[in-house]
Structure 1
């Protein structure tokens, strides 16, 4: 009888413990949501006060970066002049447009500038990996970050990015946003935008690119120095295969075409030896420049 009584008391107490645990969990979630809402509100005010009505004109002017030796002597200037030749979207091959959407933001034509599904996936991936391995940024968010904000990985900057993306989507069509993005992004080797990239890597205009070349270019901006085929051809080829797989996954290509394209070689432009003569400590300056871009982004270095 005593054992039965003890078991019945334990059964009565266990639901209370479970209820207390649920309350603690709900309280924790409520606190997190409150902090997020407060941050979003502050970010909205900050973004509203620091942006103009016409976002396309609100771009910071470029400025050169200087490299010094350990004695404080200037040894190189990383010029702010950008190798950029803007083009209209109708000049960009459909394969290149599709490749970027497939690999960077597959729901680009469906979301409002911010993709809750992408954010949820990124949060889940980051929690599982216990590190910030995915950002969940849309093409519109990337445009907002690259054109108007710094590369700092802070909550304030991320919130500003979200609200700028929402404003861009309100002010421009999807085609206009994609055109701005394709003319804005950095492809390594000093090339900004798809036209400069096409000239730099393949010696041709962007409208003349093949599927093979489009897939290669679309893979570079994830890490311009690492995936540049002039720096690391094997990594660039692997990244090209990833882009083609994404295009198949989201219905832009059939698998047979993708597999055939993976095996095709690239006719790359050979770097001009004269352009490699950058004076004193040129290899060191290249090394420092790559390190800076990897850490702070191309805009922080060149602009």
Structure 2
């Protein structure tokens, strides 16, 4: 009850946007990281304003349990929780189904910390161009920090996530066509 009164009082004095900003700048993001700027730099090596929709969805997806949901603990978790966030965005009307499907199929090039020596490219057959590009980059520069990692089990789990997202999208489309 006290939390409810406090939240109502807070919303009357501070905008929801400011509350969200304060929240994401203070919360724990896993791996000893606090605040969205540090998390964005740690996971993707860039400022939050430069994150893609897919990268932002991944970060939103790890908030409830950042250590458990960390893509560094299990690379498939990134896509799984990203897909959940994208579905929710479609459900509330913030995103259309086609955009959500497109985003879930895009690669997530993680950076292992802000001053990392390497990148972890999570590679699946969706991302063959990423593999070719990173191999070309490796040939061009001896100091290149790109590594390509191929893991069949991980690829299989990512395919399952994408297929599940496709089934979900078909259900949404079917439901929408009945309403028309």
1:220-259 equivalences in 2 (<5 Å): 220-259=62-101
Alpha-carbon distance in 2 for matches of 1:262, 1:207: 20
Please identify runs of 4+ aligned residues in structure 1 that moved more than 6 A. none
TM-score, scaled relative to structure 2: 0.59
Bigger radius of gyration: 1
Between the two proteins, the alignment pairs up a number of residues equal to 115
CA RMSD in angstroms comes to: 1.6
1:201-280 equivalences in 2 (<5 Å): 201-271=43-113, 272=116
Where 1:187 maps in the other structure, the secondary structure is strand
Aligned residue in 1 for 2:20: 178
Identify the structure with the greater strand proportion.
Answer: 2
Any conservation in 1 of the 2:42–2:112 contact (CA below 8 Å)?
Answer: no
TM-score, scaled relative to structure 1: 0.36
- The Cα of 1:162 is off from its aligned counterpart by 2.2
Any conservation in 1 of the 2:71–2:78 contact (CA below 8 Å)?
Answer: yes
- The Cα of 1:199 is off from its aligned counterpart by 0.4
Any conservation in 2 of the 1:199–1:205 contact (CA below 8 Å)?
Answer: yes
Aligned residue in 2 for 1:296: none
- The Cα of 1:236 is off from its aligned counterpart by 2.3
